[in-house]
Amino acid sequence: MIEELLRKYIAKAIEEKYQQNNIEIQFQKTRKEFEGDITLVVFPITKFSKKSPEMTAEEIGVFLKENTNEVFSFNVVKGFLNLSIESDYYLSSFYKILDQDDFGFCKINDDSLKYVVEYSSPNTNKPIHLGHIRNNLLGYSVAKILKASGRDVKKVQVINDRGIHICKSMVAWQDFGNNESPESSGIKGDHLVGKYYVKFDVEYKKEVAALIASGASKDDAEKKSNIFKRAQEMLLKWEAKDEEVIKLWTMMNGWVYKGFEKTYLRLGVDFDKNYYESNTYLLGKEIVETGLKNNVFFKKDDGSVWIDLTEEGLDEKIVLRSDGTAVYITQDIGTAVLRHKDFDFSHMVYTVANEQDYHFKVLFKILEKLGYNWAKDCYHLSYGMVDLPSGKMKSREGNVVDADDLMSEMVNEAKIISQDLGKIQDLSLSQANNLYETVGLGALKYFMLKVDPKKRMLFDPKESIDFNGNTGPFIQYTYARISSLVRKNKTDLILSNDILISNKEKELIKILLEFPKTIQDAANLYSPAILANYIYEIVKEFNSYYQSTTILNAESDSIISFRISLSKKIAEVIKKSMDLLGINVPEKM
């Protein structure tokens, strides 16, 4: 890249003029209102030049113009040196990457960089919902981007398949289910179990209200509720491995897993390994017992086990209840240790909403105190919650929008808009249906991922599916437009170095050359948003180019060849980038 070339010459200029070595050299994009292709930030150099930023920039600019073939002019704006690069440099750079099928991607070049990325982590008492969608899309995309950047990556989830919430669904099914199953009802398994979780809540509230009406206090009523006591008893039986309870638990969880698989398949995410809380909490308890013996933890008078993290700016944290049962962090300790045993990872990324920020600070500190050196390289990919415009959607059950309903609405919205805009002309029925799925889910995914993960976001289905602006369909349509352009070309592609490229073509090549760095930046910051907005930048630039430039009927075969080749490479980068976001692109649209 041009930065590497310039860095060498700028370092030479600083050494010759200011007798300094190993100075950090900072570049940034040239602002649109100024002439130039790349900008050097001069301020850090002035402490050695002992001159004003303007004079320092002028001296370095003159040196570069006199000593390089690439810099043909420069201008100085305050402490910034804007450098203009010869078009020939960009043309030759483009030809170098043109036939690189793996352009932008790195092979695994360091066996010590092994990443585990966790995402999804659903409960088996209800369907995957709107919040899980952002979670899944973020985790899956981060895993793909890390792999493209040269890391070895494993994708995992932990399924929360035990606890009182599971028993609530089981009790309600026993009382009101009449042996209903996904097969007998035609209801997807996770929705069926979720239906009985909601039913439990309805009946529980009825019982509490009746007890309060008969004179009981709210606290007593909640404790004396018959259906709640039965759920507690079922949990104790589960922990005691009661045969009938385990049989019911296995059957209902099996329904949920089949439902999850269908949702994941449609959403386009997968996992290399599943972990189950019903297994990992036992290992967590063993580790806590060992830590207690080694004085990492301490026991209170009631028999509960804690860790004191006040010196680390945190609080005391319980890790085992007084009755010896595990808490949530106990399971997380066991899961982390088991994953390291399975994969010998160097880094582990947890994709979990920001409401759990404190939890992960505590978890990482506990693992560190237990002596696990890899704990310092565990990272919480903390993301903001997702809101919908009020009244846009209603949930199937309860008050949470589930993933299946949202995906179906997006595909239906894509169908309506595609038909209105005439996007399905010359497509068969099956091709049209595939297009609706591709566009609808592409709109959902892109809109979710273009926002910085740390930010809370408002997801508007209609806004996300617009064919103009920073949206998935706009990018997909541009890819389809280029595919059509390439199909229409009848010229043999014979490339020549003896052509003059326009400023727009130069700008497109500049953006193309940023692709490898963009992948690395997105990987290092665990942010698919960096890649999403890069795609939008190149697509926006190409559409401007397409509107103002003759491609198929250009003045010579060599110009046509170059412009078709440039368009094809842009399409290739669009497709690769969208794939890293988990999004498909259509050949026709």
What's this model's pTM, rounded to 2 decimal places?
A: 0.93
**DSSP character at residue 397:** S
Average pLDDT for the chain: 94
- The separation between CA 452 and the C-alpha centre of its own chain, rounded to angstroms, equals 10
Cβ atoms of 493 and 569 closer than 8 Å: no
Query: What integer pLDDT is reported at residue 363 of this predicted model?
Result: 98
Q: For the chain, percent helix, then strand, then coil, each to nearest 5?
A: 60, 10, 30
- In terms of Cα–Cα distance, which of 326, 393, 317 is closest to 361? 317
SS3 211: helix
Quick one: tokens of 361? 């600070």
Quick one: tokens of 510? 């500049």
C-alpha dihedral over 538, 543, 546, 548, to 10 degrees?
A: -110
Task: Report the b/e string of 541-551 with b at 16+ CB within 10 A.
Answer: bbeebbeeeeb
Q: Which helix (DSSP H) or strand (DSSP E) does residue 98 occupy?
A: helix 87-98
pLDDT tens digits, one per residue of 275-311: 999 999 899 999 999 999 999 999 999 999 999 999 9
pLDDT tens digits, one per residue of 215-243: 999 999 998 999 999 999 999 999 899 99
- In terms of Cα–Cα distance, which of 283, 284, 380 is closest to 329? 284
Query: What integer pLDDT is reported at residue 324 of this predicted model?
Result: 85
Tell me the Cα Rg of the chain: 29
Query: What integer pLDDT is reported at residue 399 of this predicted model?
Result: 59
Longest CA–CA span in the chain (Å) reads 94
Alpha carbon distance 585, 570 (integer Å): 13
* Average pLDDT of the segment spanning 403-412: 94
Quick one: tokens of 28? 């940034």
Query: What integer pLDDT is reported at residue 132 of this predicted model?
Result: 93
Instruction: Specify burial of residue 498 (Cβ count, 10 A radius: 0-12, 13-18, 19+).
Output: exposed
* Average pLDDT of the segment spanning 411-430: 88
Query: What integer pLDDT is reported at residue 421 of this predicted model?
Result: 85
pLDDT tens digits, one per residue of 25-82: 999 999 989 999 999 999 999 999 999 999 999 999 999 999 999 999 999 999 899 9
User: Where is average pLDDT lowest: 203-217, 421-435, 479-493, 561-575?
Assistant: 421-435
Alpha helices in 370-499 (DSSP H): 403-420, 429-449, 461-464, 472-488
Tally of CB atoms within 10 A around 4: 7
Per-residue pLDDT at 393 exceeds 80: no
Cβ atoms of 80 and 57 closer than 8 Å: yes
Alpha carbon distance 46, 52 (integer Å): 7
Alpha carbon distance 274, 155 (integer Å): 9
- In terms of Cα–Cα distance, which of 455, 467, 446, 589 is closest to 528? 446
Q: Which helix (DSSP H) or strand (DSSP E) does residue 114 occupy?
A: strand 114-118
Domain positions in the chain are 2-85, 161-270
pLDDT tens digits, one per residue of 347-377: 999 999 999 999 999 999 999 999 999 999 9
Alpha carbon distance 582, 142 (integer Å): 10
Alpha helices in 268-322 (DSSP H): 277-293
* Average pLDDT of the segment spanning 476-481: 96
Residues 6+ apart with CB under 8 A from 293: none
Per-residue pLDDT at 158 exceeds 60: yes
Residue with tokens 């988990």: 582
To 5 degrees, how large is the angle CA 479–CA 95–CA 550?
Answer: 50
- In terms of Cα–Cα distance, which of 323, 293, 282, 352 is closest to 134? 352
Alpha carbon distance 35, 459 (integer Å): 38
Alpha carbon distance 557, 198 (integer Å): 67
- In terms of Cα–Cα distance, which of 352, 337, 351, 296 is closest to 320? 296
**Long-range CB pairs of 427-433, under 8 A, 24+ apart, other chains included:** 427/588, 431/588
Q: What CATH code would you report for 2-85?
A: 3.30.1360.70
Alpha carbon distance 334, 326 (integer Å): 11
- In terms of Cα–Cα distance, which of 331, 324, 340, 408 is closest to 374? 340
Strand partners, 80: 41, 77
pLDDT tens digits, one per residue of 454-469: 999 999 888 999 999 9
Residues 6+ apart with CB under 8 A from 384: 353, 354, 453, 454, 455, 456, 457
Alpha carbon distance 401, 131 (integer Å): 9
**Long-range CB pairs of 318-327, under 8 A, 24+ apart, other chains included:** 319/288, 319/366, 320/285, 320/288, 324/285, 325/239, 326/281, 326/284, 326/285
Cβ atoms of 188 and 120 closer than 8 Å: no
- In terms of Cα–Cα distance, which of 413, 484, 405, 478 is closest to 443? 413
Query: What integer pLDDT is reported at residue 205 of this predicted model?
Result: 95
pLDDT tens digits, one per residue of 315-334: 999 999 998 888 899 999 99
Query: What integer pLDDT is reported at residue 325 of this predicted model?
Result: 83
Alpha carbon distance 350, 139 (integer Å): 8
